[in-house]
Chain A
């Protein structure tokens, strides 16, 4: 939580004429205009919001604020939405002290987080004394061989990497050694949680909420471990972060009251070394307020519901993109309509947790849905050179199934991406 004074200072610093022109351009400031001086929360709330689209056209070197030498890591947004990646600067940011309440980090840790080298530095410092093995998701067995030698007993991993890790660790008989798992990257479903508990019975599981665009990640610090109680993941804001919730349609700031839902707005300032402070950044996630004042941390808490404008879903090894499904469906002409719902499930199988996609759509009468499913699967790309069917053949996904779109949902434009 940042105070009004801190927010005022931040805006003043970021709109000086002798610094990066990013916010001056965003706010339409003239060449000779002095830095902005906001005087109240009301004026703060009038500052324009911005989103990833505003960053795409900038090169990193043109928009950074502090000396280039402050940047220790560059991260790229995944390009999952089909848009060009945005490259973001990170300075060494240690907002992870909360981990000490869950685990001692005296043995080695396996990580697939986007900043493993920063994590290695943080975990090698007091109060921790851990070394890090970096998980290569494309070569998970080799990574886990190293993890076994290193005596790993904790993991910091992207949620969709869990099945890769779990199956290999069970095979090597090391899954019961894992005492702590921190997940990130996407919201955790009940089936994912149940799977983790089954595969790693001795692990405390928590999740963090962060983003490659946000230098002060974690944006959301876990209020409690995941226990199966709803909502599964509850967060409060990090120290150098100021969060607001706005109405999705109007952009108006909403009150922090239990049950309020809206678009999350992030202001993040990593301090004097920050290379790109974020001021009122619309990250594109919808959240719901859980508590106005969490009993343990004294701050308001929230849970993440999903993407505000959901046009993609992540799966292991790729992305289910709405525009790609539209492209495929158009190749079938009038046999199918453009309207569809794409549902992503995780199914427990004897070979572990697998993704299954159900495509609900309108078709001409008499169409063989099984044949249609196979046909779509062969043409539906989940990455540049990989189709959903490739993933089915290699045993990563269960076959795609087509089902009719319920009649009440047939009117008008209708595209939905739903994660279960």
Chain B
């Protein structure tokens, strides 16, 4: 399988990143299981190729996935009501606009969401509108699409804060251009046994 090395389709440095065919998006699968999702609306760019591992995660849990282009908010929003789906997998940057539409149209909010932060964004902050209206929100920081470097366990998700654990598997070695431009501080030890980290820069 090949995944893009960049989130941005117009990035001149974009290249194809080879991954094993059976690569699993385990943090996503775990979060969907922990929060008993009924079905997923995938609202991330299709060219990221994450639909395939997301589909595999959903199959292992016996739940369906619906692919919704991020630009097509109305069809994705209506799927929460008419499609019987209750979970959204999205970029964090798109979540606020989606919420505004749900508010305007008086549609149900997701009961659970997995929101992806791009690593080079100046901050990893979920909007207050999303925090207020949506159910539980899991956050992940990716170095490239499908390369999570920070993720959350069920306890951190329930804490409803942008605090993270280091991902189990460091796959950033496959990204030669990757240079971390953030700093983390350890705040406590989580009941799951991992350090709780917050962004400090």
B63 touches A139 (CB 8 A): no
Complex Cα spacing A139 to B71, Å = 12
Chain A neighbourhood of B66, CB < 8 A: 73-76, 87
Tell me if A139 and B47 are in contact (CB < 8 A).
yes
**Cross-chain contact B45 with A59 (CB below 8 angstroms):** no
Tell me whether A149 and B16 are in contact (CB under 8 A). yes
Q: Is A79 an interface residue (CB 8 A)?
A: yes
Asked if A146 and B16 make an inter-chain contact with CB atoms under 8 angstroms apart, the answer reads yes
Residues A142 and B47 in contact in the complex (CB < 8 Å), given A71-B64, A72-B55, A74-B39: yes
Report whether A145 and B14 are in contact in the complex, using a CB–CB cutoff of 8 Å: yes
**Contacts A71-B64, A74-B65; is A142 near B49 (CB within 8 Å)?**
no
Q: Which residues of B contact A138 (CB under 8 A)?
A: 45-46, 69, 71
| Chain A: CB-nearest residue to B55 | A117
**Interface pair A134/B84, CB less than 8 Å apart:** no
For B81, the chain A residues whose CB sits under 8 A away are: 59
CB distance from A21 to the nearest CB of B (A): 16
Segment of B1-9, B116-124, B126-134, B156-164 engaged in the interface with chain A: B1-9
Asked whether A81 is an interface residue with its Cβ less than 8 Å from the other chain, the reply is: no
B 45-87 contacts with A by CB, 8 A: 45-47, 49, 51-52, 55, 58-59, 62-69, 71, 74-75, 78-79, 81-85
Residues of B within 8 A of A131 (CB): 1, 21
- Name which of B18, B46, B65, B82 has the most chain A CB atoms within 10 A of its CB: B82
A74 touches B2 (CB 8 A): no
Within A128-160, the residues touching B (CB, 8 Å) are 131-139, 141-143, 145-146, 148-150
Interface residues of A in 86-142 (CB under 8 A from B): 87, 89, 114, 116-117, 120, 124, 131-139, 141-142
Contact A73 B64 (CB under 8 A): yes
B15, A139: Cβ atoms under 8 Å?
no
CB-based contact A133/B84 at 8 Å: no
* Alpha-carbon distance between A419 and B10 when the two chains are bound, in angstroms: 34
Which residues of the partner chain B approach A76 to less than 8 Å between Cβ atoms? 66, 68, 75, 79, 83
Number of interface residues of B (CB under 8 A): 40
What's the minimum C-beta distance from B87 to chain A, rounded to whole angstroms?
Answer: 12
| Beta-carbon contact of A149 and B9 below 8 Å | no
- A60 and B21 within 8 A (CB): no
Complex contacts, A60 vs chain B, CB 8 Å? 82-84
Residue A251 CB within 8 A of the other chain: no
State whether the Cβ of A271 lies closer than 8 Å to any Cβ in chain B.
Answer: no
Structural contact, B83 and A150, CB atoms closer than 8 A: no
Q: Which residues of A contact B74 (CB under 8 A)?
A: 79, 384
CB interface residues, A 40-78, toward B, < 8 Å: 59-61, 68-69, 71-76
Q: Are A145 and B58 in contact (CB under 8 A)?
A: no
Q: Which of B68, B75, B83 has the most CB of A within 10 A?
A: B83
- CA–CA, A68 to B40, complex, Å? 13
Residue among B39, B47, B75 making CB contact with A136, cutoff 8 Å:
B47
CB distance from B88 to the nearest CB of A (A): 13
B105 CB to closest chain A CB, in angstroms? 12
Interface status of B38 (Cβ within 8 A of chain A) = yes
Q: Complex Cα distance A145/B69, Å?
A: 20
Q: How far is the CA of A124 from the CA of B4 in the complex (A)?
A: 21
* Residue A85 at the chain B interface, CB threshold 8 Å: yes
Q: Report if A201 contacts B (CB, 8 A).
A: no
Complex Cα distance, B4 from A141, in Å, reads 12
Contact mask for chain B residues 91-116; partner A; CB cutoff 8 A; 1 contact, 0 none: 00000000000000000000000000
Instruction: Find out whether the CB atom of B38 lies under 8 angstroms from the CB atom of A68.
Output: yes
Known: A84-B78, A87-B79. A142 touches B4 (CB 8 A): yes
Residues of A within 8 A of B3 (CB): 146
Q: A59-B82, A74-B79, A84-B78 are in contact. Are A145 and B15 (CB under 8 A)?
A: yes
Give chain A nearest CB distance to B96 CB in angstroms: 18
Residue of B nearest to A115 (CB): B67
A87 touches B58 (CB 8 A): no
Task: Determine if A61 and B84 form an interchain contact, defined as CB atoms under 8 angstroms apart.
Answer: yes
A132 to B81, CA, bound (A): 31
The complex places the Cα of A245 from the Cα of B67 at a distance, in Å, of 33
Q: In the complex, which residues of chain A have a beta carbon less than 8 angstroms from the beta carbon of B9?
A: 136, 139, 141-142
Closest Cβ of chain B: how far from A67's Cβ, in Å? 8
Chain A CB count within 10 A is highest, among B18, B66, B84, for B84
- Residues in chain B near residue A69, CB distance under 8 A: 62-63
Name 20 A/B residue pairs within 8 A (Cβ), A-sorted. A59-B81, A60-B84, A68-B38, A68-B62, A72-B65, A73-B55, A73-B65, A73-B66, A84-B78, A87-B84, A116-B52, A120-B55, A131-B1, A137-B46, A142-B9, A145-B15, A149-B16, A149-B18, A150-B1, A150-B16
Which residues of B are in contact with A by a Cβ distance under 8 Å? 1-4, 9-10, 14-16, 18, 21, 38-39, 45-47, 49, 51-52, 55, 58-59, 62-69, 71, 74-75, 78-79, 81-85
Q: Which 7 A-B pairs have the closest CB atoms?
A: A149-B16, A69-B62, A117-B55, A61-B84, A139-B9, A136-B47, A136-B46
Residues of A within 8 A of B (CB): 59-61, 68-69, 71-76, 79, 84-85, 87, 89, 114, 116-117, 120, 124, 131-139, 141-143, 145-146, 148-150, 384
Q: For the A-B complex with A85-B75, A120-B55 known, give 12 more contacts whose Cβ atoms are closer than 8 Å.
A: A59-B84, A69-B63, A76-B66, A84-B82, A116-B51, A117-B65, A135-B46, A136-B45, A142-B47, A145-B4, A148-B16, A149-B18
